[in-house]
C-alpha cells in the first residue's frame, strides 16, 4: 500500500449512454442482453429498445459501423453509435467501476465549527487522500468505499487538489459529499 494510505476505495467513472442504430435485424433483442460486435468484438448491455435502435450502457468501446451485432436471441447490422440524448436533448449517463482497490486514506476535517444559524452547524467535511497514480477529476468520477465509518458513495466537491512533495506529485486530496 502507498505510505499512510491503509484504506481502500473504488473510483467510479461517468460514461455517456449510447444510441446504436441498426438495420436488417432478425430475432428479438431484450433489455439486459449483451450485444457483441462481430468485427470490433466490443460489447454493450441493452438498457432499452426503440424502433431501429437500442439504448446501451456498459459499452466497452467503439463498434465498427456496418458490422454484425448479436445477442443470444438477435442479430442485425450496426448503423451508427452515438451519445444518447433523451427527449429533452440531455445526455444520459451511467457509472462503472474504473479503478478498483485503490489505496486511500479517509478522514474528516477537524477545523473550527461554523454556525450557520440558530441551532444549525455546518457538517464536518469528509476528505480522502489518493495516490498520485490515479486518474480522477471532479466531473467524471465519484468515490465508493466499504471502509468502516465511511461506507457509501461520494461525489467530489470542488476541484481535485494535487499535493506536491518536492519535486514531484505526492498525492491528491478530495473533499467529498454524500451521493447524490
The residue ranges of every structural domain in the chain are 7-13+96-178, 18-91
Its pTM stands at 0.81
87-to-50, 61, 92 alpha-carbon distances in Å: 13, 25, 11
Question: Which of the following CATH numbers is that of domain 7-13+96-178: 1.10.1060, 1.10.10, 2.20.28, 2.40.10?
Answer: 2.40.10
Q: Beta strand pairing status for 34-37 and 18-27?
A: unpaired
SS3 content of the chain, % helix, strand, coil (to 5): 0, 60, 40
Q: Determine the Cα–Cα distance for residues 124 and 112; give it in Å rounded to an integer.
A: 9
The tens place of each residue's pLDDT in the chain, 180 residues long, gives 566 899 999 999 999 999 999 998 899 999 999 999 999 999 999 999 988 999 999 999 999 999 999 999 999 999 999 999 999 999 999 999 999 999 999 999 765 555 556 666 556 789 999 999 999 999 999 999 999 999 999 999 999 999 998 889 999 999 999 998
Q: Determine the Cα–Cα distance for residues 127 and 110; give it in Å rounded to an integer.
A: 11
Q: Determine the Cα–Cα distance for residues 10 and 8; give it in Å rounded to an integer.
A: 7
Cβ–Cβ under 8 Å, residues 31 and 49: yes
φ/ψ bin of 116: left (φ > 0), alpha (ψ from -120 to 50), beta (otherwise): alpha
Amino acid at each position: 500500500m502507498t505510505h499512510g494510505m491503509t484504506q481502500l476505495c473504488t473510483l467510479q467513472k461517468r460514461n455517456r449512454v449510447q444510441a446504436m442504430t441498426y438495420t436488417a435485424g432478425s430475432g428479438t433483442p431484450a433489455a439486459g442482453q449483451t450485444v457483441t460486435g462481430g468485427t470490433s468484438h466490443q460489447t454493450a448491455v441493452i438498457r432499452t429498445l426503440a424502433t431501429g435502435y437500442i439504448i446501451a450502457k456498459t459499452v466497452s468501446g467503439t463498434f465498427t459501423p456496418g458490422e454484425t451485432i448479436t445477442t443470444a436471441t438477435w442479430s442485425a447490422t450496426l448503423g451508427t453509435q452515438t451519445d444518447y440524448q433523451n427527449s429533452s436533448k440531455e445526455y444520459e449517463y451511467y457509472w462503472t467501476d474504473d479503478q478498483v482497490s485503490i489505496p486511500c486514506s479517509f478522514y474528516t476535517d477537524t477545523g473550527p465549527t461554523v454556525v450557520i444559524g440558530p441551532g444549525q452547524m455546518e457538517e464536518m467535511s469528509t476528505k480522502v487522500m489518493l495516490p498520485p497514480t490515479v486518474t480522477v477529476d471532479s466531473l467524471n468520477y465519484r468515490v465508493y468505499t466499504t471502509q468502516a465509518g465511511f461506507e457509501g458513495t461520494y461525489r467530489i466537491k470542488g476541484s481535485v487538489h494535487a499535493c506536491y512533495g518536492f519535486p514531484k506529485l505526492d498525492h491528491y486530496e478530495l473533499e467529498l459529499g454524500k451521493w447524490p
